[in-house]
Amino acid sequence: MSAIAPTPTSIPAPSAHGAFPVPQPLLNDFVLTVATVNGSGSQSANAVLFRAIFQMGVPVSGKSIFPSNIQGLPTWYTLRVNKEGWIARRADVDLLVALNPESVAEDLRALPSGASVILHSDLKSMLKRDDLKVHIVPFGELVAQVCPEVRLRKLVSNMVYVGVVGWLLGIELEEIQKAIVQQFGKKSKAIELNRNAANLGYNWSAEHLQNDRMLQIRRMDANRGKILIEGNAACSLGFLFGGVTVVGWYPITPSSSVIDNLAALLSRYRHDPETGKATYAVVQAEDEIAAIGFVLGAGWAGARAMTATSGPGISLMAEMAGLAYFAEIPAVIVDVQRVGPSTGLPTRTGQQDILKAHFLSHGDCRHPLLIPADPKEAYEFAALSLDLAERLQTLVFLMSDLDLGMNLWSAPRFAYPEKPMDRGKVLSAADLERLKKFERYRDVDGDGIPYRTLPGTRHPLAGYFTRGTGHTPAATYSEKTADWTENLDRLAKKFRAAADLLPAPVVEVESKGDVGLIAYGTSDMAVKEALDLLRREDGDAPGYLRLRGVPFSDAVRRYLERHRIVHVVEQNRDAQLTTLLRMDFPEFASRLRPLLHYDGMPLDAKSVVQKLRQARA
Amino acid sequence: MPSAPATPPATAKAPALNRAGLPLTAYRGLPSTLCSGCGHDAITNMIIRASFEMNLEPAQVAKLSGIGCSSKTAAYFLNQSHGFNGVHGRMAAIATGVNLANHTLLNIGVSGDGDTASIGLGQFLHMVRRNVRICYIIENNGVYGLTKGQFSATADKGSTLKRGEVNEMDPIDACALAIEMGCEYVARSFSGDQKQLLNLLKGAMRYDGTALVDVVSPCITFNNHEGSTKSYKFAKEREEALHDVTYVPDYEPFFADYDHGQTHTIDLPDGARIVLKKLDRDYDPSDRVRALELLSRARDEHLFLTGLIYHHKGGPKPLTKQKKLVAEPLATLPQSRTRPSREVLESIMDSLS
């Protein structure tokens, strides 16, 4: 599972389930896993549970571990409730809802002693342990009572477990009802059917089950002003408000919902109020090569253009990525990272595309990366990526991942962009008339960023010829070595200029000593929790700097200067960001200690703690 | 900075200006670096002449190309226009993006047989299927020039390479495939048939949608030998025009006597027309099955038929009309039209909380 196995000397974090002689009730601090079959409609039920807990003001997170198929394979949904707000994935399960005959034996076997189980009565015979608190529920009989239509029963039975779980955990029935309305919107028949199912589950449990109230949700006020959103949807909102105009794409898990959501938002909010015409175009391409081709053509012609994809799509976009770099064309690619080549593990998460995206294509090229850690940043960085692409006239990657993209997160409300859009250095016909001169690739301002004109600009000086071949500052063909190196050096200068335009790294935890830690993206929550745990239990934890982009700014250099040891937490096998840091800061290479996690599951605090303790020993 | 068009000799009369107020020289590009006698240069000249006679404003044209000898020629005409020499076989996608970003531009795409029918076949067909507005020119010589003479996918069965190798496979016929994909304007011509090519290009430039002009353009260096079916000799001897093609601009009077059973008239946007005058064959270019049958026979019998092979309204709407875009180019819409209001964000946030 993890890069380094836990050492026998490591002290396990105290946990209440079964580890202590007198069990204490777990108030707002436990993990619930629902094991079902993919395609059975459990997603809505799980969202209702999530939402009901969220509405009670309790910090909660949800992680869906699902197979790459539409129907029939096992799927798990894990809700973590934590009053302190630690909502990274936690591997131990306190309550299991076991509904899947395929996985039930293994699901039950993996539970810690003393854990609770809600077990489908059909699966009773699979129970081989006597150290679990088991609640057997006849889901089949119950659903038949509320759902006369046989074909809907599989779907509706999920809402029965919502009622059972609600009763067991003390989730207010009213909040469940509210969440159902929110989930099903205007579909009144679905609302009624699901309400009845949840009610039945709740009431039946009250009559038939024992509740020792060891796992309880108690109302808090931690979610005031917060929203619930998936990272991909947050990203779509960023592009909507960032003023995207052309979207080219090809479907691929886990990125498809970025565009599906975006297309829905655009169709709702981006039609001219007078004419009803669209101020955007979304075109589904025949493959990722064409998708990035649309983006380059549109970016060259002046549109704010983007695409979204995942690892295999990135590979197909490689040639065009190099063209964007050399011809200096604004473009944005959202990479929702997933595991492996080809099909790999398309429904598991990771940070395995960092190096590939950064160096994508042939020849010398480096692309700026933006790395959001949460939905708020996914929203902000999406809009920012369009600005940066136009400002820098280059390809910009937004490096999301499946954990952020496809799971529901609670987040602060998004702020309206206060700054006007940055359309970069574009010369108009009037500018050309004034300047009397235009050289497409001349570094006029000393920042490596040249000026461009858009096709359609009515001025005899406006036109130029864009090519991937060697060119002079005046955009004429050249095979002279000096022209080539000067151009490469200017592009490197432009790349360095990007460092100060990207979001600055954030000191999340001040360093007390000379040991620091660098992490990025969705490792954030698990790292923060791990450091908190170490501080409380060991009285010692490294500081933490969160990177939000590549290239690295001077603040990163200073951080490396100040620390004797810097752990780098990454969700990949080969320490990809560490490699970049070592390349750009060779003088500090030996200070960097990669801490790697690459099993496809979202990072959890416990494994970070174990690895940091091991490193200390 | 683009270099200024060559100045005419001092003794010359003031050059004739077109309706855009420009001389023919304003439509020229850089000097060609292709082999002397290359068919592509003749096509370049016809693009220049057609642009001049069509009164194009250089700023309203985007020149697009892929990779290959043909794709280099985008630098040899319309020097004042923006040009984009992309990557091999991917001009179709780039053209699609340009069209979406600014649908007021006329895309003139120049590609080759390798660029279109080999590496770029998929993109080419999907572009046609979407009906992207473009005048798409294939400079078709059946051979890879820049890599020194390998067969391309349009090489005829039984034709030979200069070094003797025989092609055993049937050619890919871009015209036939384009018709299958719903292309409404499909023409084939010969770089040596200047009058016909000029008129077909004009029609293609005026067309609202994908217009294909597949031009057999002999490669003087690698495919002009005995045994080639794309040589000057073969093309000159075998070319059979399906009809006489005349482009009639909107500002010229249209004579009704064009239409006496001997001609076929095609209406283009804004009042321009193409008139096809019957020659030896009785050919109706609006019949799709007939067009495909003709191309199939031409392939089997090594006929070289030129003219407007197919024209029929009935394809999908041009892509930007399918997408119901606003009248102005998306590229230059102001922020007030592309960033929804604060209230919109707040209402979305409310719906998520």
Contact B97 A293 (CB under 8 A): yes
Name the pLDDT band for A468 (thresholds 50, 70, 90): confident
Residue A573 has pLDDT above 50, yes or no: yes
Nearest CA in chain A to B331: A303
Half-sphere exposure of A251 (CA within 13 A, CB side): 4
Residues of A in contact with B80 (CB under 8 A): 460, 462-463
CB of A509 within 8 A of CB of A497? Answer: no
Contact B123 A286 (CB under 8 A): yes
What is the mean predicted confidence (pLDDT) over B96-121? 97
Nearest CA in chain B to A456: B59
Mutate to test the interface with A, among B94, B102, B104, B341 (most CBs of A within 10 A): B94
Name the pLDDT band for A1 (thresholds 50, 70, 90): very low
CB of B168 within 8 A of CB of B157? Answer: yes
Contact B100 A294 (CB under 8 A): yes
First-last CA distance in chain A? 21
- B158/chain A closest Cα distance in angstroms: 33
CA–CA gap between residue B41 and residue B59 (Å, rounded): 23
Task: Tally Cβ neighbours within 10 Å of residue B337.
Answer: 16
CB of B78 within 8 A of CB of B61? Answer: yes
The predicted pLDDT at position A11 comes to 39
Contact B83 A302 (CB under 8 A): no
CA–CA gap between residue A52 and residue A174 (Å, rounded): 9
Nearest CA to B30 out of B85, B70, B77 is that of B77
Q: How far apart, in Å, are the Cα atoms of A507 and each of A84, A127, A546, A547?
A: 20, 49, 6, 9
Three-state SS letters, A74-88: EEEEEEEEECCCCCC
Residue A253 has pLDDT above 60, yes or no: yes
Sign of CA dihedral A205, A206, A212, A218: positive
The predicted pLDDT at position A7 comes to 36
Nearest CA in chain B to A298: B97
Contact A290 B344 (CB under 8 A): no
- Considering only CB atoms, A455 lies closest to which of B105, B335, B349, namely B105
Contact A417 B339 (CB under 8 A): yes
Nearest CA to A58 out of A228, A229, A232 is that of A228
- Considering only CB atoms, B323 lies closest to which of A244, A278, A437, namely A278
Three-state SS letters, A14-65: CCCCCCCCCCCCEECEEEEEEEEECCCCHHHHHHHHHHHHHHCCCCEEEEEE
Helix (H) or strand (E) holding A545: strand A544-547
Domains of chain B: 24-352 (3.40.50.970)
CA–CA gap between residue A467 and residue B91 (Å, rounded): 12
Nearest CA in chain B to A290: B93
Name the pLDDT band for B314 (thresholds 50, 70, 90): confident
What is the mean predicted confidence (pLDDT) over B101-125? 97
What is the mean predicted confidence (pLDDT) over A160-180? 96
Alpha-carbon torsion angle A592, A593, A596, A602, nearest 10: -70
- Considering only CB atoms, A277 lies closest to which of B63, B97, B325, namely B325
Q: How far apart, in Å, are the Cα atoms of B251 and each of A185, B19, B20, B53, B325?
A: 58, 11, 13, 12, 29
Task: Tally Cβ neighbours within 10 Å of residue B131.
Answer: 23
Contact A298 B1 (CB under 8 A): no
**A1-15, A222-236, A533-547, B1-15: range with lowest mean pLDDT:** A1-15
- A144/chain B closest Cα distance in angstroms: 33
Contact B353 A417 (CB under 8 A): no
ipTM value: 0.94
How many Cβ pairs within 8 Å bridge chains A and B? 237
Residue A21 has pLDDT above 60, yes or no: no
Percent of chain B with pLDDT over 90: 86
Q: How far apart, in Å, are the Cα atoms of A556 and each of A149, A444, B214, B350?
A: 61, 29, 56, 38
Contact B84 A297 (CB under 8 A): yes
**A10-14, A41-45, A124-128, A326-330: range with lowest mean pLDDT:** A10-14
What lies within 8 Å, CB to CB, of A332 at 6+ separation is: A295, A305, A306, A307, A385, A386, A389, A395, A396, A397, A398
CA–CA gap between residue A243 and residue B319 (Å, rounded): 21
Backbone angles phi, psi at A200, to 5 degrees: -60, -45
- B327/chain A closest Cα distance in angstroms: 8
- Name the residue with higher pLDDT: A478 or B254: A478
Residue A365 has pLDDT above 90, yes or no: yes
Contact A297 B340 (CB under 8 A): no
- Considering only CB atoms, B1 lies closest to which of A283, A303, A439, namely A439
CB of A236 within 8 A of CB of A307? Answer: no
CB of B48 within 8 A of CB of B197? Answer: no
Contact A463 B58 (CB under 8 A): yes
Name the pLDDT band for A8 (thresholds 50, 70, 90): very low
Domains of chain A: 26-224 (3.40.920.10), 229-412 (3.40.50.970), 429-483 (no CATH), 506-616 (3.40.50.920)
What lies within 8 Å, CB to CB, of B164 at 6+ separation is: none
CA–CA gap between residue A117 and residue A108 (Å, rounded): 8
In the numeric block, which tokens belong to residue A422? 């940055």
Nearest CA to A81 out of A107, A63, A68, A98 is that of A63
Name the pLDDT band for A6 (thresholds 50, 70, 90): very low
Nearest CA in chain B to A228: B352
CB of A534 within 8 A of CB of A495? Answer: no
Percent of chain B with pLDDT over 70: 95
Residue B259 has pLDDT above 80, yes or no: no
CA–CA gap between residue A504 and residue B139 (Å, rounded): 51
Residues of B in contact with A455 (CB under 8 A): 59, 62, 81-82, 98, 102, 105
CA–CA gap between residue B345 and residue B349 (Å, rounded): 6
Residue in this structure with the two tokens 């202590």, named with its chain if needed: A20
Name the pLDDT band for A41 (thresholds 50, 70, 90): confident
Name the pLDDT band for A397 (thresholds 50, 70, 90): very high
Half-sphere exposure of A121 (CA within 13 A, CB side): 8
Mean of per-residue pLDDT scores for chain A: 93
The predicted pLDDT at position A421 comes to 98
CA–CA gap between residue A394 and residue A323 (Å, rounded): 10
- A88/chain B closest Cα distance in angstroms: 21
CB of A410 within 8 A of CB of A228? Answer: yes
Residue B50 has pLDDT above 80, yes or no: yes
Mean of per-residue pLDDT scores for chain B: 93
- A540/chain B closest Cα distance in angstroms: 38
